[in-house]
A and B are shown apart, each in its own frame.
Chain A
Amino acid sequence: MAVTVLIVDDHPSFRATARLLLEVEGYDVVGEAKDGHEAIAQANLLRPDLVLLDVNLPDMDGFQVASRLTARNGGATPPAVILISSRDPSDFGSLVAASGARGFIPKADLSGDALAALLG
């Protein structure tokens, strides 16, 4: 069964391209969200296996959203969170590791292989 994915990013053009790419790679994109609050709501509703989460969101930062998504919530298995950004990972220091996310992929390097490497 295909891995279900929620894409969270405030740029519609990136969401559209990422959806296309992930679907080509065999992932099942079940939803999109444009900010942190919508991401949390959609994740609770859709229960995706993976949340592809942009670090720079308009309402809250991606690390906070990642912490909330990966926290145990009434016994339900939390989704795997992979942070993405168009910035360099070194801009964020240890925040990625502390956020509960599986890892970080620069947006321009997003691919099925990169995701698979982090999901293990």
Chain B
Amino acid sequence: MSTRRLLWLVGIAGVALGVGVSTLLATRHFGDQAGGDVAATLLIGWSFLGTGLFAWASRPNNRIGALMVGVGTSWMVGMLANTDIPLLFSIGVLLSALPYAFVVHLLLAYPSGRLRSVLARRVVMVTYVDVLLGSLLFQAFDANIPDKADAPANVFLIADNPGLSNAILIVVTGIGLALVAMAGVLIARRWRAAPRVQRRGLAPVLWTGCLFLATLALTLVADGLTKSEELEEAFGGFALIFFLAVPYAYLAGLLGLGWSRGQAMGALMGGLNAAQERQSVRDAIADSLDDPRVVVVFKRPERDEWVDAQGQRVELPQGREVTAISRDGEVVGAIVHRPSLSDDPELLQGVADAAALALENERLEAELRARVKELQESRANIIAFGLAERRRLERDLHDGAQQRLVALSLQVNLARAKLEDDPATAARLLDSARDELRQALEELRELARGIHPAILTDQGLGPAVEALAQRSPVPVEVEGVEEATPLPSQVEAVAYFVVAESLTNVAKYASASHATVRVRRMDDHAVVEVSDDGVGGADATRGTGLRGLADRVAALDGQLRIESPTGGGTVVRAYIPCASS
């Protein structure tokens, strides 16, 4: 059923209920003042009903409208307590306090329709239980309801026990007073937490509600303590007036809210127009929302991350509400604000929409700053990586070829010394020197290949990867390299080292029987993948090889991912952007 149709049905049912109850009141056979009861039924019942339907229609997702309809309906049903058909009379008595529970619920949920705190939820729940169960128990043990002559029978009576019913009344009233007090405290807190921009909208309902609760409390006290009917009637009369005023206060609140919204939007527009001279857009938003802690963040869609105006990466803060800023249906930023502002989604949306255009410059600036930061980081990484590479080269040269050449030099010295006295030893030393020389040459060749393999420069990635595959002690299958190449030279170099280092790791650690190298183009990326069927368990955070690879890949703005479940083989996959190719 559509909301519109539902509201029509509720409205018709509410009008019919009012007419029905009024007819029963007008034709009853006991008591007096039927005219007053009819007026109270219709005035209060239909006021709440009408305002509630209006609120419900204008904000279908907000429960305030439904709660007001609840107040109006239960009020009219409660008025059955003044009719003379025993069952209807008894139901009326049972439900006569329910509208007050609805009002407490409404005041605590105002204006969002949601009960924010656990305490508020508990107060509302206990209020419903108190008014329904309390009335039922009281009715079950009190024969004197109502205390009017010719009143119809109370059908819920189980046994007349004045002592018990009196005790029930005291307990129910006591609980009711405590609940009213707690509701008052919660409303006061709500008021204190509200930003200036909201108070104009909140004031009519919250203050009328507080006056109603205060006079209701006084009525209960007068009834329970003084037993003074005059006092009770006087307070009860005031309570009824404030009760009746609640729906009209709601309408006044809407006007106030609209006025505040207009003020806020005006302040924002003024602030934005003056932004170039004195205020940032953020400050203008903070002023208009009266929330000095407002934070404006920007979305970087391609990275799926948020940055502040300085381009610094930020997480959306917890415990604060976030309102998205959209442009052309795409989220470009967000306003992080205090939770209580969410009570007025229209205001937030208006501010977000107005800010969207003004924020475009700041968003682009933030994007630029973020990009500069990334480039700075990436440049620092490249420099650090270069230094680390040079250190590694120095170490490799020192530990490898240089040691061999030292030994070679010593052996030649020695052989020369022995040449005349002991030619056999001299020949042995020269043989050993030749072996050292051969190994030194091989190590230098390996080192040169590690710096930049000649085959990569001369013949490109395909032959270079084939050469790596042939040198690998583990059988390697190469797929897709020819189709994916040529790539930009720096991409081919990084791709080569990904394959070289990964195949070295396969040979050293994987205990694999087979490995596969795949290279393919995906969008504007080269994807280089080396997989094996070995023992897995590779960890990029340990060992310098994979870390160094990740740095090389990151230096080109790429990403290295490693999947290596224990016992499940290893897949090293590098995504390297190559948009310039």
Complex CA–CA separation, A24 to B398 (angstroms):
27
The tally of residues in B whose CB lies under 8 Å from a CB in A reads 17
A13 interface residue (CB < 8 Å to B): yes
Look across to chain A and name the residue whose beta carbon is closest to the beta carbon of B432: A17
**B376 an interface residue at 8 Å Cβ cutoff?**
no
A111 to B141, CA, bound (A): 119
Task: Indicate whether A86 sits within 8 Å of B414 (C-beta atoms), given known contacts A13-B436, A56-B398.
Answer: no
With A86-B398, A86-B402 already in contact, the answer to whether A110 and B410 are too (CB < 8 A) is yes
> Are A17 and B398 in contact, with the CB atoms below 8 A?
no
Residues of A within 8 A of B (CB): 11, 13-14, 17-18, 20-21, 24, 56, 86-87, 107-108, 110-111
Q: Which residue of A lies closest to B400 (CB)?
A: A11
A24 touches B418 (CB 8 A): yes
Whether B402 pairs with A18 at a CB distance below 8 angstroms is: no
Q: In the complex, what distance in Å separates the CA atom of A104 from the CA atom of B156?
A: 112
CA A87 to CA B407, docked complex, whole Å: 14
Cβ contact within 8 Å between B414 and A24: yes
Contact between B410 and A17 (Cβ–Cβ < 8 Å)? yes
Q: How many cross-chain pairs have Cβ atoms below 8 Å apart between A and B?
A: 39
Give the complex CA separation of A74 and B406 in angstroms. Answer: 37
Other-chain residue from B407, B417, B418 in contact with A17 (beta carbon distance below 8 A): B407
Specify which chain A residues have a CB less than 8 angstroms from the CB of B418 in the assembled complex.
24
Which partner residue on chain B sits nearest A13 by CB separation? B407
Residues of A within 8 A of B399 (CB): 11
A24 and B417 contacting across the interface, CB-CB below 8 Å: yes
Q: Taking the complex as formed, is B411 at the interface, i.e. its CB lies under 8 A from any CB of chain A? A: yes
Q: Establish whether residues B413 and A21, one from each chain, have CB atoms under 8 Å apart when the complex forms.
A: yes
Q: Which of B398, B405, B411 contacts A87 (CB 8 A)?
A: B398
**Which A residue's beta carbon lies closest to that of B395?**
A56
* A18→B406 CA distance, assembly (Å): 10
Kindly list chain B residues whose C-beta atoms are within 8 Å of the C-beta of A14.
Answer: 403, 406-407, 410
Render B431-452 as a binary contact track against A, CB cut-off 8 A, 1 for contact: 0000010000000000000000
Chain B residues with CB under 8 Å of A87's CB are: 398
Known: A20-B414, A24-B418. A13 touches B403 (CB 8 A): yes
Is B404 located at the chain interface by the 8 A CB criterion?
yes
Find out whether the CB atom of B406 lies under 8 angstroms from the CB atom of A107.
yes
Which residues from A are CB-within-8-Å of B409?
107-108
